[in-house]
């Protein structure tokens, strides 16, 4: 009985001892696990601290970036304002340039208009000087009793119109009474290939006519003679050209009436009192800018009223 109790006590002691050992082991294990957890928490805390530091750095960088962006936005605003101001200035300068161009064009037009007026005045002065010289030269001969009229050259476009109005043909014989420098007979020969005679009482004019014939190589078609036109036999001519005073045209009527029927008479500027022209043409010369009348008569002369064809 006693032995049984002792055995039981021993067994119980063993059980208690075993239980204590197990508890110690468990406790030690728990402590180790706790320490491990603590170590892990420490590592996690260190990691979090690292994250916090990185977050702080990121915040600082973001703040710097934000500040830079703000500065960039501010500079961009300033740039945009400067650009807009520059654009406005460019527009103003463009408008000013257009205005200056318009003013320059107006000034250029005014200068050209003034230059044209001056050229016209210069031409008039030149013409007046030329006419004055001719008048002076003619007056010398006139004072000598040689001339009935003073020589004033007929503009070339008027000469052309006179011969056109007279319907000059190659087979015609053209007489120019008071031929001046011979421009009418020279033009008739060169343009129509017809024969022509020029008559003038002024030796200076005869000399100029001969020089003009030589210069234009029409000596085979044109002759010049110094004669008094009121002593001429005009019956051989088909075309008569005149640039005489009206009273001198009238003095020629008896000679003109001896022309063959169908002969043409053209006069520059002056008519023939008592004889109706077949046609009167008015021409503004491109050379002297003046208006010129050209009269046409056809033989037999019509001394009666007839409708005048005016162009």
Alpha carbons within 13 A on the beta-carbon side of 147? 24
Instruction: State the pLDDT confidence band at 75, using cuts at 50, 70 and 90.
Output: confident
In a domain, 93, yes or no: no
pTM for this predicted structure: 0.54
In a domain, 246, yes or no: yes
* Assigned token pair, 118: 């001056």
Whether residue 292 contacts residue 285, with contact meaning beta carbons closer than 8 Å, is answered with yes
Residues in CB range of 90: below 8 A, 6 or more apart: none
pLDDT reported for residue 16: 54
Domain residues for the domain of 181 are 156-310
Which of 198, 189, 178, 173 shows the shortest CA–CA distance to 251? 178
In this structure, what are the phi and psi dihedrals at residue 195, rounded to the nearest 5 degrees?
A: -85, 155
282-299 pLDDT, tens per residue?
Answer: 999 999 899 999 999 999
- How far is residue 202's CA from residue 186's CA, in Å, rounded to a whole number? 18
Q: What whole-number percentage of the chain has pLDDT above 90?
A: 48
Instruction: Determine which helix (DSSP H) or strand (DSSP E) holds 187, and give its type and residue range.
Output: helix 183-192
Q: Is the pLDDT of residue 69 over 90?
A: no
176-224 pLDDT, tens per residue?
Answer: 999 999 999 999 999 999 999 999 999 999 999 999 999 999 999 999 9
pLDDT reported for residue 209: 96
In a domain, 151, yes or no: no
pLDDT reported for residue 122: 64
Which of 40-54, 96-110, 111-125, 263-277 is the least confident region?
111-125
- How far is residue 262's CA from residue 296's CA, in Å, rounded to a whole number? 12
Whether residue 166 contacts residue 267, with contact meaning beta carbons closer than 8 Å, is answered with no
Q: Is the pLDDT of residue 89 over 90?
A: no
Q: What average pLDDT score do residues 217-241 get?
A: 96
241-257 pLDDT, tens per residue?
Answer: 999 999 999 999 999 99
In a domain, 79, yes or no: no
Whether residue 219 contacts residue 244, with contact meaning beta carbons closer than 8 Å, is answered with no
Q: State the pairing for strand pair 291-298/279-284.
A: antiparallel
Instruction: State the pLDDT confidence band at 134, using cuts at 50, 70 and 90.
Output: low
* Assigned token pair, 8: 């039981």
In a domain, 105, yes or no: no
* Assigned token pair, 189: 């020969």
| Domain count along the chain | 1
Any idea what the CATH number is for the domain that residue 207 is in? 3.40.50.150
pLDDT reported for residue 132: 53
In a domain, 235, yes or no: yes
In a domain, 6, yes or no: no
Which of 50-64, 141-155, 199-213 is the least confident region?
141-155
**Three-state DSSP class for residue 224:** strand
17-37 pLDDT, tens per residue?
Answer: 555 556 667 767 777 777 777
DSSP 127-143: HHHHHHHHHHHHHHHHH
Q: Is the pLDDT of residue 161 over 90?
A: yes
In a domain, 100, yes or no: no
Instruction: State the pLDDT confidence band at 306, using cuts at 50, 70 and 90.
Output: very low
């Amino acid at each position: 009985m006693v032995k049984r109790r002792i055995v039981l006590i021993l067994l119980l002691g063993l059980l208690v001892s075993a239980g204590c050992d197990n508890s110690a082991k468990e406790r030690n294990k728990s402590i180790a696990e706790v320490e491990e957890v603590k170590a892990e928490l420490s590592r996690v805390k260190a990691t979090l601290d690292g994250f916090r530091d990185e977050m702080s750095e990121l915040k600082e960088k973001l703040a710097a970036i934000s500040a830079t962006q703000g500065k960039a936005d501010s500079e961009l605003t300033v740039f945009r304002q400067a650009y807009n101001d520059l654009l406005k200035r460019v527009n103003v300068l463009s408008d000013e340039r257009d205005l200056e161009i318009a003013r320059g064009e107006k000034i250029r037009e005014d200068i050209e208009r003034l230059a044209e007026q001056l050229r016209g005045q210069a031409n008039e002065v030149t013409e007046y000087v030329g006419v004055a010289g001719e008048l002076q030269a003619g007056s010398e001969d006139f004072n000598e009793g040689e001339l009935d009229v003073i020589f004033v050259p007929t503009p070339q476009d008027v000469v052309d119109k006179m011969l056109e109005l007279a319907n000059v043909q190659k087979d015609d014989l053209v007489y120019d009474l008071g031929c001046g420098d011979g421009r009418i007979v020279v033009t008739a020969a060169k343009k129509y290939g017809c024969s022509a005679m020029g008559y003038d009482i002024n030796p200076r004019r005869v000399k100029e006519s001969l020089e003009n014939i030589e210069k234009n190589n029409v000596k085979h078609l044109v002759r010049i003679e110094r004669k008094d036109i009121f002593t001429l036999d005009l019956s051989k001519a088909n075309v008569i050209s005149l640039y005489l005073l009206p009273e001198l045209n009238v003095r020629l009527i008896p000679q003109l009436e001896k022309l063959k029927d169908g002969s043409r008479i053209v006069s520059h500027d002056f008519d023939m009192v008592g004889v109706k022209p077949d046609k009167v043409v008015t021409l503004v010369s491109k050379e002297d800018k003046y208006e010129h009348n050209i009269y046409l008569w056809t033989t037999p002369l019509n001394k009666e009223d007839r409708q005048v064809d005016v162009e």
